[in-house]
Amino acid sequence: MTQRYQIWVAYDGSAFAGWQVQPEKRTVQGELERAIRKLTGETVKLHGSGRTDQGVHARGQSAHFDLSRDWGLINLRRGINTYLPPDIRVLNAQQQTPHFHARRSAVSKEYRYFIWNAENLPPDLRHARAHIRRPLNVDAMRKACEALIGRHDFAAFTANPNRFVESTVRHVMALQVRKSGPEIVIIAKSDGFLYKMVRSLVGFLIRVGEGDLAPEEAGAILKSGLRTAVVPTAPPQGLFLWKVNYGRGATYVRNQH
């Protein structure tokens, strides 16, 4: 019998062409599958909770794969990390039932987008913060969030994924704007996100914060169902897949010792 494993992965997406395996390109999925093969001698298909784009990071990406024999969890995690480059790390591993699926079993995801709102961006943060020089009105951004929370058709806040999408309706459970000094964090939690939806929401909120759009325009844009240049796509380097939430039995636990 095969054993299904779930792993929790963090990565710096700066040097990757995204999560999904692509011919002749360096991807997170490709590096992980290669490391698992070197450790176990088995060729596995890694299933992630979702795809992240080029330049997007993760603190809590979830994925699963099957092996033909049982491995000790600590040895599995440490062994995979031995064969990984330093910009990817497996934070935790656990056994799962055969019915568990990293994407289909997820009940919600949380993304966080980090903005450095000051004249100068510290060089060590250049790959992990979006740099916005114009002062942002956080109160206006928070007001705009109010109309975007709930179950809506987010067609106006997505890009064409070049694949069939059954529905553009999503339930945004939380959309918050936090500020600490020059750092602004936008937290988005939903039962699912459309292609480039988080970066589109952030792009809109940045325009509101800069005073180019009124917070009240959020509702009208939602109702239009049309993606226009009014909603820009924020740059990828500020975005982190922060957490994937499951039911009981698949809850993320910090590093095993």
Catalytic residues: 53
Query: Which residue shows structure tokens 């004249």?
Result: 119
Query: Which residue shows structure tokens 């450790």?
Result: 39
The one-letter code for the residue type at 237 is Q
Closest residue by Cα to residue 249 from 106, 108, 111, 109: 106
- Side-chain half-sphere of 32: how many Cα atoms within 13 Å? 30
Question: CA 46, CA 48: separation in Å to the nearest integer?
Answer: 6
The contacts of residue 75 (CB under 8 Å, 6+ apart) are none
DSSP state, residue 188 = E
